Structure 1
Amino acid sequence: MDLQVISRDGEPEYAVLPWAQYQALLRAAGISRGPESGAAIHTEAEHEPSSPAADFPSLSQLGALREAKGLEVAQLARAVGISPSYLDLIESGDREPDAAIRRSLAWELGVAGWRGEA
């Protein structure tokens, strides 16, 4: 597991791990949706199993994921092969990227991916 521990005053305060591993931990704990979605946390026994697309971050989180990786818009856009202005449009929700761009964004950000999710 790729884990980063952030300490304050010599004491561990936060544990940071890749999104996919976080999602796997939630699933292993029987939690289908985490607090990052703005929804209440539910156990699997409380509702129908979620679709596979629910395991992936929403495109509305793209900007936050990029910033968490310490990437500027231009850096990520260049790595993915699109213009910074197009990436801005995707992040703002004004444009919907095709599957190839979704896969490239997922690869560059180290997330499982966006398979046809709106």
Structure 2
Amino acid sequence: MDLQIISRDGEPEYAVLPWAQYQALLRAAGVAPSPEPEAATHIQAESEQSSSAADLPSLSQLGALREAKGLAVAQLARTVGISPSYLDLIESGAREPDAAIRRSLAWELGVAGWRGEA
């Protein structure tokens, strides 16, 4: 099963899985599967339109975004699952995080993503 666990403050908060697997779980539980919700389609289309590269922050703004949220380096690093020293290297531009870390940082800081993200 392709399952992603999203944590907040070190505790699991959400479980994300592909729609087909979710539907299979519903069938196995004896619950009638539902069609794809229109709201999810609408939200996805909206986010694709509103998050053009020009609207996204640059990864070089990571430190400022973290400070604006009132988060210490150690706190954000722990939540994302990396060391504070590695977060310092990312903020200074000495290291480029992989896509999973970029997504986690964006999630924790409440941004749609990062400009130039692959």
RMSD over aligned Cα, in angstroms? Answer: 2.6
Following superposition, the deviation at residue 53 of structure 1 comes to: 2.1
Question: Between the two proteins, what is the percent identity of the paired residues?
Answer: 91
Residues in 1 aligned to 2:82 and 2:95: alpha-carbon distance in whole angstroms: 13
Q: Residue 80 of structure 1 contacts residue 105 of structure 1 at CA under 8 Å; is this kept in 2?
A: yes
The residue that corresponds to 2:82 in the other structure is 82
Give the corresponding residue for 1:101: 101
- 8 Å CA contact 2:106–2:113 kept in 1: the answer is yes
Q: CA deviation at 1:54?
A: 2.2
Q: State the distance in 1 between where 2:52 and 2:94 align.
A: 25
Shift of 1:92: 0.1
Aligned residues: 71
Q: Which runs of 5+ in 2 are unaligned?
A: 1-49
Aligned letter for 1:99? A
Letter matched to residue 96 of structure 1: E
**Residue identity opposite 1:79 in structure 2:** T
Aligned to 2:56: 56
Distance 1:80 1:115 in 2: 19
CA distance in 1, matches of 2:98, 2:114: 10
List gaps (5 residues or longer) in structure 1.
Answer: 1-27, 29-50
The answer to whether the Cα contact below 8 Å between 1:102 and 1:115 also exists between their aligned partners in 2 is no
Q: From the two aligned structures, give the one with the greater helix fraction.
A: 2
Deviation of 1:116 after TM superposition, in Å, equals: 4.6
SS in 1 for 2:113: coil
Give TM-score scaled by structure 2 length: 0.54
8 Å CA contact 1:56–1:114 kept in 2: the answer is yes
- Counterpart-to-counterpart distance in 1, 2:105 and 2:69: 12
Structure 1 Cα separation of the partners of residues 72 and 86 of structure 2: 14
**How many Å apart are 1:115 and its aligned residue?**
6.4
